[in-house]
Structure 1
Amino acid sequence: MDQLKDYEIINKQLETIINSSLDEIFVTDGNGTVLRVNPTSEALYEIKAKDLIGKNAQELAKDGLYSPSLFPIIKERKEKVSMIQRTRSGKTVHVIGNPVFNSEGNIDIIIFTSRDLTEIRELRDKIERTEHLLESYQEELAELRRFQNKEQEDFISYSPNMRKISKMVEKIAKVDSTVLVTGKSGVGKGVIVSNIHHKSSRKDKPLIHVNCGAIPESLIETELFGYEPGTFTGAKKQGKKGLFEEADGGTLFLDEIGEMPLNLQVKLLKALQENSIQRVGGTKSIDIDVRIIAATNKDLEQMVEEGLFREDLFYRLNVIPIHIPPLRTRQEDISYLMDYFLNKFNSKYNSSTILSLEVENALFNYDWPGNVRELENLMERLVVMSDDQEIQLKDLPRKISNSFKEDSKYFVHLYDICTLKQAQDAVEEQLIKKAYYKYKSSYKVGEVLGINQSTAFRKIQKYLKTESVD
Structure 2
Amino acid sequence: MQHELIQHILNCVSYAVVVVDTKCTVINMNNVALDFLERRDRVTAVGIAAEQILPIATPYIKKGLASDEFKKGTGRIVKRGTELFFEITPLIIEGNLEGAVVSLQKPSRFEELAVELSSFQDMANTLQAIFDSSSDGIWVTNGEGVVTQINRASEDLNGVKTTGIVGKSIDEVVETGLVDVSVSKEVLEKKRQISMLQNITKTGRQLLCTGTPVFDNGGRLSMVVVNERDVTELLDLREHLRAAREITEKARKEITNLNMLELEQGAFIAESKSINRLLASALKLAQLEVSGILLLGESGTGKSMLAKLLHQHSPRASGPFLAINCAAVPEQLFEAELFGYEKGAFTGARESGKAGLLALADGGTFFLDEVGEMPSSIQAKLLKCIDEKEFTPLGGSTPKKINCVIIAATNKDLEKQVSKRLFRKDLFYRLNVFTLTIPPLRERVEDIFALATSFLNKYNERYGKFKVLSPKSLRMLQNYSFPGNIRELDSLIKKGVAVAEEDVLDVYFEQSLLGAAEAETVSTKGLSMQEALDMVEREMLNEARRACKTTREMASYLKISQPSVVRKLKKYGLGAS
Q: TM-score, normalised by structure 2?
A: 0.43
Residue 358 (structure 2) aligned to one of 230, 244, 254: 244
Q: In structure 1, what is the Cα distance between the partners aligned to 2:363 and 2:378?
A: 23
Aligned partners of 2:486, 2:383: CA distance in 1, in Å? 32
Q: Deviations over 1:151-187 (max 9, x none)?
A: 3852111111101111012101112322100111001
1:168 aligns to what SS in structure 2?
Answer: helix
Q: Where in structure 2 are the equivalents of 1:200-219 lying within 5 Å?
A: 200-219=314-333
Say if 2:422 is the partner of 1:344.
Answer: no
For 1:154, the equivalent position in structure 2 comes to 267
The C-alpha deviation readout for 1:369-421, integer Å capped at 9, x for no partner, is 000000000001111112222112x2126361359999xxxxxxxxxxxxxxx
User: Alignment partner for residue 423 of structure 2, among 309, 313, 316?
Assistant: 309
1:226 aligns with 2:345: no
**Hey, what does 1:166 align to over in structure 2?**
279
Q: Tell me the residue number matched to 1:286.
A: 400
State the match for 2:438 in structure 1: 324
Structure-2 change in CA distance of 1:250 and 1:296 (3 Å): same
- 2:295/2:438 contact within 8 Å kept: yes
Give secondary structure in 1 for the equivalent of 2:442. Answer: helix
Partner of 2:499: 385
Q: Tell me the equivalent position of 1:300.
A: 414
The one-letter amino acid of 2:343's match is P
CA contact (8 A) 1:187 1:372 kept: yes
Give the letter aligned to residue 400 of structure 1.
L
Q: What is the CA–CA distance in structure 1 between the aligned matches of 2:420 and 2:518, rounded to whole Å? A: 43
Who is 2:107 aligned against? Answer: none
Distance 2:429 2:435 in 1: 10
User: TM-score normalized by structure 1?
Assistant: 0.53
Task: Give the whole-Å Cα distance in 2 for the aligned partners of 1:321 and 1:191.
Answer: 16
Conservation of the 8 A alpha-carbon contact between 1:365 and 1:404 = no
What per-residue deviation string (whole Å, max 9, x for no partner) do you get for residues 303-342 of structure 1? 1100011000000000110111110011111111111111
Task: Report deviation, 1:195.
Answer: 0.4
Q: Deviations over 1:10-65 (max 9, x none)?
A: xxxxxxxxxxxxxxxxxxxxxxxxxxxxxxxxxxxxxxxxxxxxxxxxxxxxxxxx
Instruction: Give the aligned partner of residue 129 of structure 1.
Output: none
Read off the aligned partner of 1:249 and give its amino acid letter.
Answer: G
| In 2, Cα distance between equivalents of 1:341 and 1:386 | 15
SS at match of 2:447: helix
> Contact 2:295/2:409 (CA < 8 Å) preserved in 1?
yes
Q: Partners in 2 of 1:150 and 1:254 — Cα distance? A: 17
- For the residue of structure 2 that corresponds to 1:396, the secondary structure is helix
Matches within 5 A, 1:69-84: none
Q: Is the 8 A contact 1:179 1:292 kept in 2?
A: yes
**Could you say which residue in structure 2 is the equivalent of 1:186?**
300
Question: Closer, same or farther in 2 for the Cα pair 1:230/1:151, shift >3 Å?
Answer: same
Aligned position for 2:553 = none
* Cα pair distance change 1:364/1:318, threshold 3 Å: same
Instruction: Judge conservation of contact 1:342–1:380 (CA < 8 Å) in 2.
Output: yes
Q: Is 1:197 aligned to residue 315 of structure 2?
A: no
Alignment of 1:357-436 (within 5 A): 357-392=471-506, 394-396=507-509, 398=511, 400-402=513-515
2:263 and 2:309 in contact (8 A); partners too:
no
Retained in 1: the 8 A contact 2:266–2:454?
Answer: no
User: Structure 1's 168 and 148: CA in aligned 2 closer, same or farther, altered over 3 A?
Assistant: farther
Instruction: For residue 372 of structure 2, give the secondary structure of its aligned residue in structure 1.
Output: helix
Partner secondary structure for residue 253 of structure 1: strand
Q: Which AA in structure 1 matches 2:268? A: F
The partner residue of 1:263 within 369, 377, 380 is: 377
Deviation at 1:252, TM superposition (A): 0.7
Tell me, yes or no, if the aligned pair for 1:202 and 1:250 is still in contact at 8 Å.
yes
> Which structure 2 residues correspond to residues 137-152 of structure 1 after superposition, within 5 A?
150-151=263-264
Counterparts of 2:341 and 2:327, CA distance in 1:
21
Alignment deviations for residues 411-451 of structure 1 (CA, whole Å, 9 cap, x no partner): xxxxxxxxxxxxxxxxxxxxxxxxxxxxxxxxxxxxxxxxx
SS in 1 for 2:288: coil
Provide the C-alpha distance between the structure 2 equivalents of 1:293 and 1:344, rounded to a whole number of angstroms: 28
Deviation of 1:228 (Å) = 1.1
- In the TM superposition, residue 356 of structure 1 has moved relative to its aligned partner by 2.3
Answer yes or no: is the 8 Å Cα contact 1:209–1:253 preserved in 2: yes
Q: 1:227 touches 1:241 (CA, 8 Å); kept in 2?
A: yes
Query: Which aligned segments of 4 or more residues in structure 1 are displaced greater than 4 angstroms?
Result: 402-406
> What displacement does 1:351 show?
1.6
AA matched with 1:360: L
Q: Distance in 2 between matches of 1:221 and 1:152?
A: 32
1:151 and 1:198 in contact (8 A); partners too: no
In structure 2, the residue corresponding to 1:294 is in which secondary structure? Answer: strand
Q: Aligned-residue CA RMSD in angstroms?
A: 2.2
The amino acid across from 2:274 in the alignment is N
Using the alignment, how far apart are the partners of 2:287 and 2:265 within structure 1? 16
1:152 to 1:346, Cα distance in 2 relative to 1, 3 A: closer
Amino acid at match of 1:159: S
| Count of matched residue positions in the alignment of Structure 1 and Structure 2 | 260
Structure showing greater radius of gyration is 2
Matches of residues 111-150 of structure 1 in structure 2 within 5 Å?
A: 150=263
- Structure 1 residues 341 and 299, CA, compared in 2 at 3 Å: closer, same or farther? same
Cα displacement string for residues 186-214 of structure 1 (whole angstroms, at most 9, x for unaligned residues):
01101100100111111111111100110
Match of 2:468 among 354, 357, 362: 354
The CA distance in 2 between the partners of 1:216 and 1:369, in whole Å, is 27
Tell me: CA distance 1:241–1:388, structure 2 relative to 1, closer, same or farther (3 Å): same
